[in-house]
A and B are shown apart, each in its own frame.
Chain A
């Protein structure tokens, strides 16, 4: 399996500001994903980060709120825009080489909005 590094590991932000989370994989992968895990809840998929094109968002998530970039096969960013306390969650990056291999996850970014 590969290793995913996420930065920052945690942050406390003021409401109305934006935070960009970085996800770096130590090898090339075909697929990259972003998940949100609200306090005490399971993981919810935000979007699939597509290399060289716009991300594919799940129902309930929009590009204006969660813009995503993926400039190459090892790196992606997720921005949480115009934050409110309801955005306080753990945000996780995931990647997999193909659909026949397992997905692996970063350690997450713990975001608190005050």
Chain B
């Protein structure tokens, strides 16, 4: 699976949009971009995933560039409860990963009052 690069940490004001970038320049055509987050002392929580098109759900939006080499997770109105480590993961559903997810170091997002 392709490697991802994320900033180590980011800050965001409560009520503002949080935009978390992820670079995945070696992504291949059949690899998905998944986002998870891990709030302190909890297990990772699925947020959203996409292949080519932008995706939106009740938690967030995922914007994938046309060349698919980078993506941005957008939390439209960040709250204090969104403070967490956010992981961007590239996953090949049909490859030899057999469903395994490989976690990088992620981005520590801190939402300030």
Residues of A bordering B, CB below 8 Å: 1, 4, 30-31, 33, 35, 42-45, 48, 56, 92, 94, 96, 98-100, 102-108, 110
Contact = CB atoms under 8 A, between A and B. Distances in A.
A73 to B, nearest CB: 14
Main secondary structure of the interface of A (DSSP, over half): strand
A56 to B, nearest CB: 8
A42 B106 CA distance: 8
Interface in B33-50: 34, 41-46, 49
A94 B38 CA distance: 13
Nearest to A56: B98
A45 B94 contact: no
Main secondary structure of the interface of B (DSSP, over half): loop
A100 B93 contact: yes
Given A99-B93, A100-B93, A48 B105 contact: no
24 contacts: A1-B46, A4-B43, A31-B99, A35-B103, A42-B104, A42-B105, A42-B106, A43-B103, A45-B100, A45-B101, A45-B102, A48-B99, A92-B43, A96-B99, A98-B99, A99-B91, A99-B94, A104-B46, A105-B45, A106-B43, A107-B42, A107-B43, A108-B41, A108-B42
Contact of A42 (B42, B93, B100, B103): B103
Nearest to A105: B43
A30 B103 contact: no
Nearest to A92: B43
Contact of A43 (B44, B46, B94): B44
A72 to B, nearest CB: 18
Given A48-B98, A106-B43, 9 more contacts: A42-B104, A43-B44, A43-B103, A45-B100, A99-B93, A102-B34, A103-B99, A105-B43, A108-B43
B47 to A, nearest CB: 9
